[in-house]
Each structure stands twice: as structure tokens, then as C-alpha cells.
Structure 1
Amino acid sequence: MYVYRKLRLLLLQLFKKAANDYGGFGKVYSGVLCDGTKVALKRRKLESSQGIEEFQTEIEMLSQLRHPYLVSLIGYCDENNELILIYEYMENGNLSSHLYGSDLPSMSWEQRLEICIGVARGLHYLHTSRFIRCDVTSANILLDENFVAKVADFGISKTSTEFDETHLVCARPAVDQSLPREQLNLAEWAMNSQKGGQLKKIIDPNLVGKIRPDSLRKFGETAVKCLADSGVDRPSMGEVLWSVEYALRLQEPVIQHNPEENSTN
């Protein structure tokens, strides 16, 4: 990891282009270093007094952690009131933009399972390293050029001996006020649908008829276990990983029957 101490030199090396707002911290830019390396640059708002603690936490965590399913920190700059973090560039942006709210092509069930597996592998590594990545959402799961999923944004992560593994990735917002009352909260709707044997009713319409029932059933069972009220009743992330990998294996007959239509790439 590089510490960029000359801010002017850093900015001259980067072709800056605003990508999106990053909450209270600031904006994210795409850029290219002098050696041709594509990067993403997260810059704190100059007028903001927030983000210093998150900035330090991010550096401390990613200095210790390296894993294929975690976004890598390339370097940072802390000079003249500028706080900048530089990451590997993720070509396909965040998962949220591919699931809803855009005109991007719909993702196949196999792609979604592969993404869940990648996220589970990254979180399993963090948990076995005694770190918790708080508030995992589709917005902070990033996809590289091959749609490999990597967990990002560690500013509010922490170390702990107790783990809370309650989050579920799905093709709609977790709460949607425009929907009927029984569908408003995704977690509650999914649990009620699973208990009633009607899980197929809540899946993305683009996936209708493309998922083997046993694959969907295994995935649904895993999701419901993760949403148990008591932490002791929830599976470990290692168990979640095994279950989602098994759900993908149950889908394999479909993949083998039509490999082009169901490609995970």
C-alpha cells in the first residue's frame, strides 16, 4: 500500500471523473495512475467534519486484510486537510445498480448465486479474522469486469467476539413503501412466503421458469435461517457459504442443459 504524501502529484496522476456521492464522506471518482492502473478514488468533502474516524478504520482494516473477495486498498493521502482513499477499480460498479433502478441487463439466477457465494466467502474470511463488516447491502458489494463480487467500504467495521449475520441480497430494496403492507418489508415477506411454500411468488419476474425448485428451496431455507431473531439460531457464515454453494450445485442440471443461456460470466 502506498502513502501519497504529495497531493498535487497524486491529482496530476488521476483523470478525475465523479462517479457517485458516498454519503457523508464525499464522492467517488474513477482515475488512471501513471503506470496505467485503473483506480477508484474516494475523497472526503472538504467542508465536512465527518469521515475522519471511518477513514482511519478503513486504512487500519485493509492494511491487515487481503482476500480475493474484498476490495483492495491501493493507497491513501492525508495532507492539507485532504483525505483520499485509492482502491482497485471495479468495472461493473455496485450490485444495487444491476438488481434494480437501472436499464442494465437482468442477471441470471446462476450469476446471483455466484455473487452471493463471493460475498459469503469475503464475510467468512472477515469473521474468521475476528472482524465484522457492518451494514452489508447491495450498494457496497462491487463487481469486477468478470462480475466477481467483492465486499467494500470498511469504514464502519469493527472487531468483536459476537457476530450478527442478518443481511440478505435480493433484487429489490429491503423496504419499499410503494408496495402493499404485506410486501413492504422484504425480510418479513420472504419469511412468510417461505413458510407458506410460496417463495417463488417473490422472485424477480425475469427469473420465472429459470430456477430449479430445489435450488430456490435451499436458498430460501438458508435466507430464513439467517433472519432468525436470536443470534444463536442463525448459521455461521461458513454454513451460509456451504448452503449457497449447494443451491448452485442444485441448479447445475439447468446450466449443463443450456450453458450459453445460463453462463455466469
Structure 2
Amino acid sequence: MSSNAEIKISGFPEDDGYWFVKWIDEFRLPHLTTSSASVKVVLQKLGSVDFHNLNNLGSTDIRSILGQRKKDADVIIEIRCPVVMPGTLPLVFIGAIYQRGVYVGRLPTRRRTIALADGGQEGFELSLSQQITPPPGWPEGAPYSLLNRFEYSVIPNIMRSSRCLMINRGEDTFIIPRMTIFKTFYAPHTELAKAFCGGPWNDRLDEVICLDDFESGLKTQKITHPEQWNIILQVRVPDVFAPLLACFTLMSSQDRALL
């Protein structure tokens, strides 16, 4: 499942409003009568004028949608916090807009590339509630957190324990939610998301990788001479994820830590 077009997400608001994903976090076990995990999604209602004018929204407009300054105190921010099953994770992302649970667009974004030094071991992992050094000119004694209300309203209050990776580049600070990193490496596809979120990896890997021996001699294994990795995926897992799953299955934990 790689496309969210026309897929209705259960639990999202059923009204005619436009709701965008503002945050994703908080795994919970179990969900209702199942033994599966669930994940909280924070949705914020987007004005219909803003939705129909998405292509013309500038950075100032986006900041006014995401943050709330003192001069905006009278603005009512409508929030919903539904939970979704792990298999839905590949379909939801921060900025995605839904109407009656169906994806209808996304907030404007700007792509940036960050080159990580030291083999990727860079930056600081912090919770949203942690105080950090304020920028020059910040009022002395006033608190300054990783994310502040004027930058990103609501989330610092209801997701205080959410953790993010903070990376500084000159005057820019990049804040990457831990869930975004998890989704990228562990939940890029519905079947992978269900396997990684369903319990210990060794107990669930057969949901995405075939561990049976075939009469042809093919099987998932690491061959020393000649050196090669053979991996057989389950039917519903696209071939493009073979290298990633091979790393998780055939590579030692020490080597995976260096990726």
C-alpha cells in the first residue's frame, strides 16, 4: 500500500472540513479488542479559504497556520486526536490534508537536504518540553523550548514527551520528529509497519520475509562464498524493500548500528 488516494482512514473527522496532520506519535498497546498497537495522530482544522488557496500560500501564511502568537489569541484552533493502526502509518504524514478521512492535498513544503557528518551520528535528541538556549534578543528569563507556541501551536502542550532530532546548520535549526525517522526506515510500507509495530522483530519478521526452504534450493540466507545475501519477500512486500529488509535480517546488530 503505497498510495493514499481514495483510501479512507478510519477515525478521522467525518465532517466537510479540511484537516491536516500536525503531529504523529504515542504508540499504545493494545488497540480496542485487538492485540495491535495504535498511534495517535493530531489533526488541525484548516480554513476552507486556505485550502482552496494552497498554491498561493506564502511562508508568512504557513507560519500563521502552524503557530499562534499573542496577537492571534482570539483565533480558535480546532484539534482532533484520532488513533490509527500501524498499517496506516505509511499513508499519513505531517502536512497531509484530509476531508472525511480521504487525502485531498498537502500544505506547501520546501525540500532541504542535510548532509550528516560522523556517519550520521549528529545532532541532539530532545523532547518537545525541554528548554534550550534561546536565540539572540530573546527576553531574559523567558522560557524557550524546542518547539514554542508561536512556532507550532498545541503540539508542545499535548505532546510534551515527543522526541525530536535537532540539527543546527548555520542560522538554521532543523527539528525532525522521531516518528518521521521511524516511518522512513521502519514503516515505509503497510506490511513493514505492521511487522515492526506488532512485537519483537524476531517474532514478526516472517510476516514480510519468507523463511521457508524451497525445493529449488532458494531461501533467505547469507552466503559466504561467493559473498552474497539472498532474501525472499512475502507476496505483499514490493521488491524495492529487499535491501532494507536484508539489512535487518542478515546484518549483525553491530553492523546495523553503523548504518
Common fold, TM-score beyond 0.5?
A: no
Q: More strand per residue: 1 or 2? A: 2
Q: More helix per residue: 1 or 2? A: 1
Structure number with the bigger relative contact order (C-alpha 8 A, sep ≥ 6) is 2
